[in-house]
Amino acid sequence: MSKITPFLWFDDNAEAAMNFYCSVFKNSKKGKVTPMSVTFELEGQEFFGLNGGPNFHFNEAVSFFVKCENQAEVDYYWEKLLASGGKESRCGWLKDRFGLSWQIIPGRLTELLGDRDPKRANAALQAMLKMSKIVIADLEKAAAAA
């Protein structure tokens, strides 16, 4: 067990959330399931889910950042995490059907925002600010035009 484990408070659907997340992330493992809690692992990160009741809800103050290698990976996670009631947000952010916030970010975005040419970096930033799902080709096109 890692020293720090995200603890997720669900109303009464922690097992459904675990099953959903394990279906999205190929490198996942389901752990212990009890009436009150679940444990699972996604991409090597352990999670604990609690059926804690309706007192607390997720918000954007905490999100999970998924670094993607290419557009196909961005598209995959975007589609899967939005399935069955998720909601798009801006700049690569979305909320899944459980209300948990995710950032689906291609590594290429970080590279373009860190470009040594501030005009190219700013052009990529301005393009990203207009997007919901990040589209790498559109970022590159904006940076090249600067």
Distance CA 92, CA 27 (A): 22
Extract the residue ranges of the chain whose pLDDT is less than 70.
Answer: 1
What single-letter amino acid sits at 144?
Answer: A
Of 7, 49, 4, 11, residue with least CA distance to 30: 49
Report the pLDDT value the prediction gives residue 2, as an integer from 0 to 100.
78
Fold (topology level) of 1-56: 2,3-Dihydroxybiphenyl 1,2-Dioxygenase; domain 1 (3.10.180)
Token pair, residue 121, equals: 């970096």
DSSP 72-101: HHHHHHHHHHHTTT-EE-STTEEE-TTS-E
pLDDT of residue 1: 63
What pTM did the predictor assign? 0.94
Which residue ranges does the chain devote to CATH 3.10.180.10? 1-56, 58-146
Domain 58-146, what fold?
2,3-Dihydroxybiphenyl 1,2-Dioxygenase; domain 1 (3.10.180)
* pLDDT recorded at residue 139: 98
pLDDT given at position 125: 98
Instruction: Note the pLDDT of residue 71.
Output: 98
